[in-house]
Amino acid sequence: MLNGGSSSGKTELARSLQGVVAEPWLLMAVDSLIEAMPAALQNSGDGIEFASDGAVSPGPQFRELEAAWQAGVGAMARAGARIIIDDVFLGGSATQER
């Protein structure tokens, strides 16, 4: 699990790890989840909003999709896939508990 702010180098670190480990590891990034969301949920109160000051506000529909995404990543791990998760914990300690 790689956690850090936007543009902090998580993806670059994950790609570097993929290049040096013996077994294949999949990179699952929260950015891919956001890109896969309908445009209407990007920069929307129900989806996820990105403020000009850098603040990020996840809404209820984003949280639902995020939970489904996390369950899917978990299923892949339980099926034997090695996974590097590139994420930004938007909910502080509550996010870390999940």
Q: Which residues are catalytic?
A: 31
User: Rounded distance, CA 1 to CA 85, Å?
Assistant: 5
Q: Are the C-beta atoms of residues 37 and 62 closer than 8 Å to each other?
A: yes
β-bridge partners, 58: 48
